[in-house]
Amino acid sequence: MDPRFAQAEAALQAGRYEEGVRLTEAALEADPKAPAGIYRSFTAILFRHRDFARAAKWAKAGAEQHPKDSELFNILGVALRRSGRLKEALQALDTAARLNPKNLAVLQNKGNVLNDLRDGPGAVEVFTKLVRAQPSNAEVQRGLGRGHHNSGDLAKAEMRYRLAVKLKPDNIDGWIDLLSLLSDAFRMAEAAEALDRAIAANPASARLLEAKAVMLRRAGRRRDADAYLTELARAHPDEAWIHHQIGLTVADYDRERANHHLRRAFELAPQNLDFRLSLAESLNRSRYGDESAHIEEAYQVVKGGLDRPITHPVQLKIASEVLMRVGAHAERDRLATFAEAGRRWAEAGMHAPLLAQMARVETPEDRHELIAQHRIWGDLVQAQAARSPISRPGPRAPDGKIRIGFMSSDLRNHPVAYFALPLFEHYDRSRFELYCYSFNQGEEDQIQRFITESVHAFRWWKDISDRDAAERIAADQLDILIELGGSTHMNKLPVMAYKPARRQASWVGYPHSAGPTAIDHIVLDPHLVPKDPRLLIETPLVMPKTWLALGRTFRDAHVIAGDLAEERNGFITFGTANNPHKYNERLIRTWARVVREVPGSKFAFIRPEGNAPSFRQHMADYFAAEGVSADRLVFHTVRGAHMPFYNEVDVTLDPFPLTGGTSTCEALWMGAPVVNLRGEALFERLSYSILSNVGLAHHSAETLDGYIDIAVKLAADREQRRELRRTLRERIKQSPLGQPEAFARDFYEMIAQAVAKEGAQAAVG
């Protein structure tokens, strides 16, 4: 046998882990037919160091050399499970069970994987056998409970969880599962009582103390959670998990304090990937101080963790968002494929990251896959809502008015409010009553105050659960509830799954079907409706001309320069102010091709990321790949006060496939023409709708070559650009986009017809 095995064993026994691993790997590569025991011992060491990906590699190598060794296949299954490769894990464990059917540990590992895959019936079958063989084993009782939980049989799940913690009061996982079940069912008093008993039995358990903070936060009681954790921190100032939980709890209303605690958690436990990524996420969302510095720090924090598998859906979301924001698309793509990422998020109940999926769509199959991902999420939240239905009042007495609800935390200084304002300014109070619902964690601003004063009721619930919000909305007895925010920050899209209104619709805030079939309609216009009806889940409510109009935030105070940027600079400037979550490598390289085709031209990024070194470098690399040097890139680092910078752009290049919306309106308002590539799905047609409504549909292309051709020809036509700079704002004002009162009239008439139709159908039924 290779003498390096002995050297490796000596190094490992001496605590020189990296040296021992390196020597063992070299020995196994030189002598792959080593005894099965060496492979088992080596993978056991890797497990102790939580080196699961490497353990899976060598367990697989050992199993290939010793195909009848059940234990190696068992180790391989567990290592693959810990690496997030669940389907491969199941195959390995099936082989292990076939080789040794009497090994109960293999059977238990298989049951755990089935539970991870949410195959409730399969897990129930496995754990029922185990419970018969080991009725006093708390862990198999818990596994059976998880199987029933995943099957939707909550009563049986609860019984097994309670039995597990009775058999073994220090079974922390059993307590956590029981608390999760009770919390999901909104049996909060029982959950609190169970948690008190769990902590009494395990007073030193950090996981249970942490569970209390999580439970308070999930119940919408963030400030109570803050107070509880702050008290714990006084007693235990160096407990990393406490700082981590404080950071998560206060982030929405005190970002700077959140970053302080998340940094402290990371300092105390630098190997904890969750702590690392939570810090990165909070930095990425930080708007105080130097935003570019926060973005760069977030990227470096994520980059430092990319040597480890990032498989958990939450970890994958955070890493993907940060990498996308600085343009690290290759690093992002290595984390997971389009389908893998989207399904992991949807199956984990995570909707927000699906927005960035739109920028990754390339094929017709991708479009339908994205619809499937939204359906998965919608079915999941509706199943959760069905397990705890809300109370509803009886029908309200007829009063001749249509009661409309608008639900969004963005009814403030935010693009959603910019487009919603006409509906609050122009409506017939004798026909309609408007109710608004916001969960904004910040302070009231001037726009929110205006909306509050314009509507019948503005319900502002900072600390509330999804279910409680749904029940309170139901108490308002709406005829229709319209959600405006999708799953963007601080919104509560899952409220729609409870169906708090008889009729429900989505509009403006999310450029895709949200997912739940409980949302009956989506408000569109003739330019937005996809030709393929399978690309929508809801039934469209189609406005006659446009799905949006420009509100009072589009002001003449935004001054348009009297000359062209080209005339001042001596060269053409292309540019964008769109968010990097709409970028992809194909898009950026297309922008570079446009610049390459126009000698001497430059490209301007009007973005707060502009001073982040990594963003600059990635953009420069993409442009260089198309033969465009870095000195032809311009970065205007600005947030909020960006409107004047459109005067520095001659031609705005729209992103694709996820196109601009607000940014397209802003560019046109400032006289900067927009070139667009339209596609088949809703999110690929937003700019096309806007351009069509101002008579510029000819600036929208159906092909990539057409997009480049339009941009190059527009750059060459100085007179056309001068005319557009001079007249575009007035053209917008005269277009459907610039007629907010007519837009509101059309909108409310459409809603009235939808409500009347629903009432007529109910009467017939």
Can you tell me the mean pLDDT for 622-641?
Answer: 96
Inter-helix orientation angle 313-325/338-347, to 10°: 130
Q: 138-151 and 120-133 helices cross at what angle (nearest 10)? A: 160
Banded model confidence at residue 49, pLDDT cuts 50, 70, 90: confident
**How does DSSP assign 1-32, residue by residue?**
--THHHHHHHHHHTT-HHHHHHHHHHHHHH-T
Written in H, E and C, the secondary structure of 102-157 is CCHHHHHHHHHHHHHCCCHHHHHHHHHHHHHHCCCCHHHHHHHHHHHHHHCCHHHH
CA dihedral 630, 684, 408, 480 (to 10 degrees): 170
φ/ψ (deg, to 5) at 407: -110, 115
Q: 62: phi > 0 → left, psi -120 to 50 → alpha, else beta; which?
A: alpha
- From the list 315, 243, 239, the residue with the least C-alpha distance to 280 is 315
pTM above 0.85, yes or no: no
CB 490 within 8 A of CB 440: yes
Torsion region of 646: left, alpha or beta (phi above 0 gives left; psi -120 to 50 gives alpha):
alpha
State CA 257 to chain mean position distance. 23
User: What confidence category does residue 5 fall into, taking pLDDT thresholds of 50, 70 and 90?
Assistant: low
Indicate if the pLDDT at residue 2 is higher than 60. no
| Residue 587: per-residue pLDDT | 98
Tell me the pLDDT tens digit for each residue of 55-81. Answer: 999 999 999 999 999 999 999 999 999
Between the alpha carbon of residue 375 and those of residues 354, 358, 519, 538, the distances in Å are 11, 15, 12, 11
Residues 185/154, Cβ–Cβ less than 8 Å: yes
Could you please report the per-residue DSSP string of 40-92? HHHHHHHHHTT-HHHHHHHHHHHHHH-TT-HHHHHHHHHHHHHTT-HHHHHHH
Overall average pLDDT of the 47-51 stretch: 83
> Could you tell me the two tokens for 624?
């260089």
Instruction: Using the CB atoms, write b or e for 368-399: b if 16+ within 10 Å.
Output: ebbbebbbbbbebbbebbeeeebeeeeeeeee
Q: Rounded CA gap, 417 and 452, in Å?
A: 12
Q: Residue 218: which pLDDT band, with cuts at 50, 70 and 90?
A: confident
Strands 521-524, 504-506: pairing is parallel
Least confident of 100-109, 170-179, 239-248, 480-489: 480-489
* Residues 315-349 pLDDT 10s: 999 999 999 999 999 999 999 999 999 999 999 89
CA distances from 76 to 58, 89, 307, 406 (A): 8, 7, 21, 52
The model's confidence at residue 115, banded by pLDDT at 50, 70 and 90, is very high
Average pLDDT value for the chain: 94
Residue 762: pLDDT over 70? no
* DSSP string covering 615-666: HHHHHHHHHHHTT--GGGEEEE--SS--GGGGGG-SEEEPPSSS--SHHHHH
In this prediction, residue 152 has a pLDDT band, given cuts at 50, 70 and 90, of: confident
More confident residue, 15 or 358: 358
Three-class SS string for 279-317? HHHHHHCCCCCCHHHHHHHHHHHHHCCCCCCCCCHHHHH
Percentage of the chain beyond pLDDT 90 is 82
Which residue's entry shows tokens 């199987």? 147
C-alpha 639, offset from chain centre: 22
Mean pLDDT of 85-105: 94
| C-alpha–C-alpha distance, residues 260 and 256, integer Å | 6
Helices (H), 717-739: 718-734
Ramachandran area for residue 635 (φ above 0: left; ψ -120 to 50: alpha; else beta): beta
Q: Where does residue 534 rank: exposed (0-12), middle (13-18), buried (19+ CB within 10 A)?
A: exposed
The predicted pLDDT at position 760 comes to 65
For 501-558, the pLDDT digits (tens) are: 999 999 999 999 999 999 999 999 999 999 999 999 999 999 999 999 998 878 898 9
Per-residue pLDDT, averaged over 364-371, amounts to 98
- Judge whether residue 593 has pLDDT over 80: yes
For 266-312, write each residue's pLDDT tens digit: 999 999 999 999 999 999 999 999 999 999 999 999 999 999 889 88
For 452-503, write each residue's pLDDT tens digit: 999 999 999 987 889 999 999 999 999 999 999 888 778 999 999 999 999 9
Cα(600)–Cα(569) distance, integer angstroms: 11
Rounded-to-integer distance, Cα 684 and Cα 660, Å? 9
What pLDDT does residue 30 have? 87
> Nearest Cα to 479, choosing from 419, 424, 433, 514?
433
Instruction: Kindly write down the DSSP assignment for every residue of 222-288, as one continuous string.
Output: HHHHHHHHHHHHHH-TT-HHHHHHHHHHHTTT-HHHHHHHHHHHHHH-TT-HHHHHHHHHHHHT--S
Q: What are phi and psi of 415, to 5 degrees?
A: -55, -35
Express each pLDDT in 159-214 by its tens digit: 999 999 999 999 999 999 999 899 877 788 899 999 999 999 999 899 999 999 99
